[in-house]
Every structure is written in structure tokens, then in C-alpha cells.
Amino acid sequence: MLGAAGLLVLACALLMLSVSGAAARAQPVELAAPYEYMGWGDPQPPAEVLDDSGLHDLTLAFVLSKGACNPEWDGHRPLLGGVDQAAIEQIRGAGGEVDVSFGGWSGKKLGNACHSLTALAGAYEKVIDAYSLRAIDIDIEHNELRSKKVRQRVTAALALVREADPDVEISITFPSSQSGPEATGLSLIADAVAVGLHPDSWTIMPFDFGAPSGTMAAASIQALEALARELASAYGISEAEAYEEAGISTMNGHTDEASETVEQQEFASVLSFAGERHLARVSFWSVNRDRPCGGGAPEEECSGIEQAPLAFSSMLAAYTG
């Protein structure tokens, strides 16, 4: 039997384990969570991705509209009982957490399908509640970003979500040119400021803009510098504070443009810059592609460059903000 001293030592040890566990999960879910898309290509098993790379979390994409203001995965896979719920359970079973992303380039977006901000906020909340989420990402692109009316609806709905669930992390992800946010992105930031929305991360996607001037790393850093200036001006904060509310989501390997390639050393440069400025979020598209092609052209399932399996994921796993 343990004496009083032994019981005290045991209690202290259990307390230290509890504190260390809480500290480990104190890392924001969105900080270093690359995208994986369970409806595309040949997805790598999420739990194996975490185990093999050292990542804590993943961003699962994409929730869209099923004909009306009704959220489903890709607009046709159910929230519960399908491969996406199974992926979430696998991630959590491996000790990780999930960030759910709404939107993307293709498909019918909830921002367009939900015709009032309360309906749109309700659609976001339905997904949050279905999985007891700690983080959501609004990847606003294409026709959802193009319409000012929809942009305003999205930001106002997210303000309602923030009011209802203040502990849920919110990232807003949108395209960017090499010189920073374009007119629609600047309008989106202004719309958020107007309704008092302060997301945890404004994340730009600096790719698919054609041949960069210089390397993709230099283009990404230039875009991030411009984003920080814009956030500082819009919110009335310092640039140092703005960087801590900024993020980047790049592509690993070949992008959709033949003139753009993000090599591993370029991703390392972006990660180094992110660490120096303490960016709120670093991600990439996608885990599905984080493996070599075996001599084939880059498609949904590979990066198109020479790399080890999960090379980008393993690099991102070391990012701590």
C-alpha cells in the first residue's frame, strides 16, 4: 500500500500529466492542420497521416449545400454515418482534432444557398453541433466570394456564430495575388470589420495567379506582408499583431498552374517566415497529394515532385506558431 508520501507523489504525477495534456491541446486546432478531402482521389487514412507525420490536427473539406440551406459533405454525403464522420472519429481516436472547412472552389456554397444570415449561421451551427467542433474554416472562393451581397451574408453569419460559440476557432480563407488580397478580399475584410467580426485567422491562398515574380516562397511572403498591412489598417492594430491573425494555405508541389511549383525548400522558407511572425495558421492543399507520383503527372493523388511520403505534413507538424 502507498503511504501518505506515496499518495502525494502519485497525486502530483497525475496533476502534471493532466496539465501537460491540457497544454498539448492548448495549441489551436487551425494552427497546423492541412486539408484532406475524403471525396477526392485516394485519401490517405487520416489516423495514419497523424501517426506517420507527427501532425496533431487535420482540416477536412468541404461542406456544401444539398440543394438548399442544408449542409452536407460535397453537397451529397451525409453529415452522420458516412466516410467523413468516420474520418473525424479516426482523427480523434489518434489523439487529434478536426477543423471542418466550408466552401472551396466547386459546388453549391451555403453562402449562396442560404438566403438570410440567420439561416446561414444556423447551417454552420448544425455542422458544429453534429461533431462538437472546436474549429471551422470558411474557404470562400468563386461565386461565393464574387458577390458582395453573399460576402456580407457570410461575415454577418459568422459574427452570429462567434456570439453563439465564442470558443470555436474561425478561419476565413480566400484567394490572393502575389501582391496581396485583391478587391474582393479587401471587401471581405471590410465587411467583417463592419459587423465586428474578428476571426482567429485571415488565411490567404497565394497560388494559381500565374507565373510568380521570383520563387513561390518569395511570392507567398510578399502576399503575407501585404495581408498584414491590410489587416493592421482595417482593424487599427500593429503589423506585429496583424501577423498573429494572418495565415497562409499554399499548395504542395505543382499547383493548378504549369508555371507554379512549391518545392519542399520553398515550403520550409514559408514556415520559417511564419515562425518569425507567429502566423495564426499555416496549411496546404492537400494531404491527398502529399506523396510522390511514381513517375506519373501530378493529379488528385500526388504532388508531381520528388518527395518522401507525407514530406510536407511532417514539415508542417513542427510548426508551433
Q: How far from the centroid of its chain's Cα atoms is residue 98's Cα? A: 10
The answer to whether 25 and 94 have CB atoms below 8 angstroms apart is no
CA distance 301 to 294: 11
Determine if the peptide bond prior to 314 is cis (ω within 30°): no
First to last CA, the chain: 45
CA distance 162 to 169: 9
The answer to whether 283 and 296 have CB atoms below 8 angstroms apart is no
Angle at 168 between CA 150 and CA 160, to 5 degrees: 40
141 carries an active-site annotation: yes
Question: Which residue in the list 72, 141, 225, 241 is annotated as catalytic?
Answer: 141
The answer to whether 190 and 235 have CB atoms below 8 angstroms apart is no
The 10 Å CB-count burial string (b at 16+, else e) for 268-286 is ebbbebbeebebbbbbbbb
CA distance 205 to 249: 5
The catalytic residues are 141
